[in-house]
Structure formats: structure tokens, C-alpha cells
């Protein structure tokens, strides 16, 4: 807990790093996985359960909250932390990514993005300035620049023009963010899969100066191999002494590969969203609990896991409550998946601090079967 925002790099092992981000609302151990709280809730989880999984920070959702119940109402009610009963750090995305993926009838100009709400069809206008205002009203501890994330595949000209627009929006975001001690503003690198464009983007962001830097524009359909190729150079283009946040990633092996390449923070809907559909991530691979072969299985999901689902219930029970569509099904599997993702992060933090990341990574990959187990 500090009055200001700072990043303390503790140890490195190859390109992998471990450290602590100090914020007034609490410390964030890195590498960190950030669960996603879409509409002011991590679906199927109480906030104290999210904390119990080991999460130090969670994601709020600018796009959803600006539409319902609106940022102004959350501000009047004391801000997002009080509203959702989470007193640790919250990072909010800037809203642009979701506009492009969720809303219809959207129009992109130099000024910003105009779109119709997917909830009630009302018209909205998002600009760097409005995005900073919304994230400030929410009370977010880590604010993301308003950017444009182009869908891949896209031609180089489109990628370049989009990156250059995002860099102009990054300057406007910085100017509108103002001076908020203890709160951070993160820039977002764009440039698709192009090393030179990403280099120019990183230079533009460095010149503006941010408290942290995100690698944006990835996990948009390029595939793991292409993503890792970008991650082989992109983190090194960013300041070494600031946190590096890879947006929207990912599956367990994506996360491990990203940390190996110098990433400090990640977020993904996967563990919570797939938990609700019956997909469990375990140290031996993925279990689809709705599969009939689990109906009589008295064993836990993962005998080595200490989460409530694995400590107190059989696969047969989890199979039953999913088939019966009981609410506890999503609760138990979401808790398990978030617990497992945090275990991966804790394992990497310890291994990097001990200079044993390579051994940890070998053990991580050795245990994983392909397909359903
Ligand atoms: C999945 N791949 C991917 N995601 C990406 C995101 C969103 C990160 N998650 C935040 C988010 C997004 C949605 C879903 C939840 C809640 C809320 C709305 C905030 C996580 C991104 N966000 C921004 N601003 N810029 C990107 O380039 C970007 C690239 C991504 N590539």
C-alpha cells in the first residue's frame, strides 16, 4: 500500500520477470492474472471468493458500465470499488475494443467512435476525453488509453493508419487524464504483427510517458504461433522499468509463453466464461465435465487442487449439477478455473524468483495431456 503508483522489479530469469506493483489500494504481485468483472461482477463469484483465489486486481468494464447503469450513477454511489464491494485495485479498459466487437452501427472518425448500444439501441459517442472521464468516474486505479484495435487479418496500410490514429488518441488520453496521484494511465502499443510499426508505436508511447505499457492488437485471431513471434520482440520495445500488460490473453499455455517472453500482466474471460460452460482447466489438461463419462466418477476434478470444487465434490456431482443446470455448477467451476489460473501465476512468480523458470515450464508442459481427460 503506498500513496503513489510504482513498479518494483524483484527478479528476472531469462526474459521472465517477477515484481510488485504498489498502489494505494494494494500491491499487485507480478506476473499477475486479472479476472474479468464484466458488469461490475465476476460472474458466478462473490468478491471475497475472487480474492480467495489469489487475485490482487480485477478488470472493470467501461463499455458495459457506461451503458448500464452509467458511470455517473456509479460515481454518485461512491465509485466502482464500493458499488461492487471490491477494495483492491481495479483496471478498466477504455471501451474501444468492445465497441468494435459488440455494438452495431458504429462510425469511426478522428474524433472517436459513434455507436448504438447493444442493450437498448441508444446512440453513444466515445472519444479519448470521454473514455478518461468515464474511467475517472468509475474510480479505476489503472486506466487504459482510448485506442483502436484493428481486426486481423488486415493489410499493412490499414494497420499503420490504425496505429497512428491510436497514437494520436494516446496523446489526447494523456492530456485528458490529468494529474491523478496514486492512479495510473497505461499506453497501448499497436502495429499488428509488424515489428517496425510496433517499434514506432513504442517510441510514440515512450515520448508521451505512461505508468505502464500494454501490448495491444493481439489475441484477435492471429493464433498462438504468430502471437509468440510478436512477443519475441514487442516487450523489449517497451520501457524495462514499467509493467507490461498483454491484453486479452489467454489459455494457460498462452499465459506461460507470454510470461516467458517478458509480460507482467494479463486478463482473459476464458477461465470464468468456460467455467460456466463446464470446461475445467487442470494441470493435466482440459476436462469437459458435461461429458457422460464423468457421470459415475467419484474422483475430484483435480486431486492436487485445493479449491472448494476439488476439495468437496466429485466429478459425478459436478457432472450432475451441470446437466441439471443448477447455479452451483457455474459457481464451482468458475472458482476452480480462477484458482488454477492463480496457481499458475504463483508458481511462475516463485520459479522466476528462484531462477528456476525453465524447470517449472518443463514440468508445466509435461503434465498436460492433449484433449479431454
Ligand atoms: C481477447 N483478445 C483481446 N482482448 C483485447 C482487448 C480487451 C482486453 N480485455 C478487456 C475486457 C474486454 C471485454 C471483456 C472483458 C471485460 C471488458 C470488456 C474489458 C475484458 C484490447 N483492449 C484494448 N483497449 N486494446 C487492444 O488492443 C485489445 C486487444 C485485445 N485482444
| Residue pointed to by grid coordinates 497501448 | 188
List residues bridging with 185 in a β-sheet.
Answer: 143
- ipTM of the shown complex: 0.99
Q: What is the pLDDT of residue 370?
A: 66
Query: If DSSP states are collapsed to H, E and C, what string results for the chain?
Result: CCCCCEEEEEEEECCEEEEEEEECCEEEEECEEECECCCCCCCCCCHHHHHHCCCCCEEECHHHHHHCCCHHHHHHCCCHHHHHCCCCCEEECCCHHHHHHHCEEEEECCCCEEEECCCCCCEEEECHHHHHHHHHHHCCCEEECCCCCCCCCCCHHHHHHHHHHHHHHHHHHHHHHCCCCCCEEEEEECCCCCHHHHHHHHHHHHHHCCCEEEECCCCCCCCHHHHHHHHCCHHHHCCCCCCEEECCCCCHHHHHHHHHCCCCEEECCHHHHHHHCCEEEECCEEEECCCHHHCCCCCCCCCCCCCHHHHHCCHHHHHHHHHCCCHHHHHHHHHHHHHHHHHHHHHHHHHHHCCCHHHHHHHHHHCCCCCEC
Give 101 or 241, the one with higher predicted confidence. 241
Residue 2 clears pLDDT 90, i.e. is over it: no
**Closest residue by CA, ligand 1 atom 3:** 248
Percent of the chain past pLDDT 70, that is, above it, reads 98
Band (pLDDT 50/70/90 cuts) for residue 1 is low
What is the rounded average pLDDT of the residues 350-357?
Answer: 98
Average pLDDT of the chain to the nearest whole number: 95
Q: How far apart, in whole angstroms, are the C-alpha atoms of residue 124 and residue 323?
A: 40
Please state whether the predicted TM-score (pTM) of the whole model is above 0.90: yes
C-alpha cell read off for 227 = 502471437
**Is residue 196 annotated as part of the catalytic site, yes or no?**
no
C-alpha cell read off for 42 = 465476476
Q: What is the pLDDT of residue 103?
A: 66
Q: How far apart, in whole angstroms, are the C-alpha atoms of residue 293 and residue 230?
A: 40
Residue 78 clears pLDDT 70, i.e. is over it: yes
Residue 163 clears pLDDT 70, i.e. is over it: yes
Ligand 1 centroid to Cα of residue 296, in Å, is: 39
Mutate to test the pocket of ligand 1, among 247, 249, 255, 274 (most ligand atoms within 8 A of CB): 247
Q: Which of 147, 211, 267, 302 is flagged as catalytic? A: 267
Q: What is the pLDDT of residue 291?
A: 97
Q: How far apart, in whole angstroms, are the C-alpha atoms of residue 24 and residue 35?
A: 20
| Residue pointed to by grid coordinates 522499468 | 241
Band (pLDDT 50/70/90 cuts) for residue 152 is confident
Q: How confident is the model over 47-62, as pLDDT tens digits?
A: 999 999 999 999 998 9
Percent of the chain past pLDDT 90, that is, above it, reads 90
Ligand 1 neighbours, Cβ below 6 Å, are 36, 38, 59, 61, 63, 93-94, 96-98, 144, 147, 149, 188, 216-220, 247-248, 267, 269
**Is residue 264 annotated as part of the catalytic site, yes or no?**
no
**Closest residue by CA, ligand 1 atom 18:** 61
List residues bridging with 248 in a β-sheet.
Answer: none
Residue 73 clears pLDDT 70, i.e. is over it: yes
What is the rounded average pLDDT of the residues 16-39?
Answer: 97
Give 143 or 150, the one with higher predicted confidence. 143
Identify the CA nearest to 174 among candidates 111, 131, 124.
Answer: 131
Band (pLDDT 50/70/90 cuts) for residue 101 is confident
Q: What is the pLDDT of residue 149?
A: 94
The DSSP bridge pattern shows strands 113-116 and 123-126 to be antiparallel
Identify the CA nearest to 152 among candidates 58, 220, 210, 95.
Answer: 220
Q: What is the pLDDT of residue 298?
A: 98
Q: How confident is the model over 264-303, as pLDDT tens digits?
A: 999 999 999 999 999 999 999 999 999 999 999 999 999 9
Identify the CA nearest to 88 among candidates 57, 54, 50, 61.
Answer: 57
Residue 106 clears pLDDT 90, i.e. is over it: no
Order across the sheet with 16-23: list the strands. Answer: 6-13, 16-23, 26-30
* Burial class of residue 367, CB neighbours in 10 A (0-12, 13-18, 19+): exposed
Residue 183 clears pLDDT 80, i.e. is over it: yes
Band (pLDDT 50/70/90 cuts) for residue 119 is confident
List residues bridging with 29 in a β-sheet.
Answer: 20
CB of 280 closer than 8 Å to CB of 46: no
What is the rounded average pLDDT of the residues 33-56?
Answer: 95
Residue 368 clears pLDDT 70, i.e. is over it: yes
C-alpha cell read off for 17 = 520477470
Q: How far apart, in whole angstroms, are the C-alpha atoms of residue 264 and residue 243?
A: 6
Residue 218 CA, closest ligand 1 atom number: 31
Q: What is the pLDDT of residue 186?
A: 98
Ligand 1 centroid to Cα of residue 153, in Å, is: 17
Q: What is the pLDDT of residue 153?
A: 86
Ligand 1 centroid to Cα of residue 151, in Å, is: 12
Residue 360 clears pLDDT 90, i.e. is over it: yes
Amino acid at each position: 500500500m503506498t500513496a503513489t503508483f510504482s513498479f518494483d522489479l524483484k527478479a528476472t530469469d531469462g526474459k521472465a520477470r517477477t515484481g510488485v506493483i504498489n498502489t494505494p489500494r494494494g500491491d499487485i504481485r507480478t506476473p499477475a492474472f486479472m479476472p474479468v468483472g464484466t458488469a461490475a461482477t465476476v460472474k458466478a463469484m462473490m468478491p471475497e471468493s475472487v480474492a480467495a483465489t489469489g487475485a490482487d486486481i480485477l478488470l472493470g468494464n467501461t463499455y458495459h458500465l457506461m451503458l448500464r447503469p452509467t458511470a455517473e450513477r456509479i460515481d454518485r454511489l461512491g465509485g466502482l470499488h464500493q458499488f461492487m464491494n471490491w477494495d483492491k485495485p481495479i483496471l478498466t479498459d477504455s471501451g474501444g475494443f468492445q465497441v468494435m466487437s459488440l455494438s452495431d452501427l458504429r462510425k469511426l472518425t478522428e474524433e472517436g467512435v459513434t455507436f448504438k448500444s447493444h442493450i437498448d439501441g441508444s446512440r453513444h459517442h466515445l472519444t479519448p476525453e470521454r473514455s478518461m472521464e468515464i474511467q475517472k468516474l468509475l474510480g479505476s486505479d489503472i486506466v487504459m488509453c482510448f485506442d483502436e484495435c484493428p481486426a486481423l487479418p488486415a493489410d499493412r496500410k490499414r494497420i499503420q493508419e490504425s496505429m497512428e490514429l491510436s497514437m494520436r488518441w494516446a496523446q489526447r488520453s494523456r492530456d485528458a487524464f490529468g494529474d491523478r496521484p496514486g492512479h495510473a494511465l497505461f499506453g497501448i502499443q499497436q502495429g499488428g504483427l509488424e515489428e517496425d510499426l510496433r517499434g514506432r508505436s513504442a517510441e510514440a508511447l515512450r515520448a508521451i510517458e505512461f505508468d505502464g505499457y500494454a501490448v495491444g492488437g493481439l489475441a484477435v485471431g492471429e493464433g498462438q504461433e504468430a502471437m509468440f513471434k510478436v512477443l519475441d520482440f514487442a516487450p523489449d520495445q517497451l520501457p524495462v522499468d514499467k509493467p507490461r500488460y498483454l491484453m486479452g490473453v489467454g489459455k494457460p499455455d498462452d499465459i506461460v509463453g507470454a510470461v516467458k517472453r517478458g509480460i507482467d500482466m494479463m486478463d482473459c474471460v476464458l477461465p470464468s466464461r468456460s467455467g460456466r460452460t463446464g470446461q475445467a482447466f487442470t494441470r493435466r489438461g482440459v476436462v469437459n465435465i458435461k461429458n457422460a463419462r464423468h457421470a459415475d466418477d467419484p474422483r475430484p476434478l483435480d486431486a492436487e487442487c485445493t479449491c472448494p470444487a476439488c476439495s468437496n465434490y466429485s466429478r459425478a456431482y459436478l457432472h450432475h449439477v451441470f446437466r441439471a443446470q443448477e447455479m452451483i455448477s457455474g459457481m464451482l467451476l468458475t472458482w476452480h478455473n480462477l484458482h488454477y489460473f492463480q496457481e499458475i501465476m504463483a508458481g511462475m512468480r516463485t520459479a522466476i524468483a528462484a531462477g528456476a523458470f525453465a524447470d517449472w515450464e518443463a514440468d508445466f508442459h509435461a503434465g498436460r495431456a492433449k484433449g479431454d481427460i
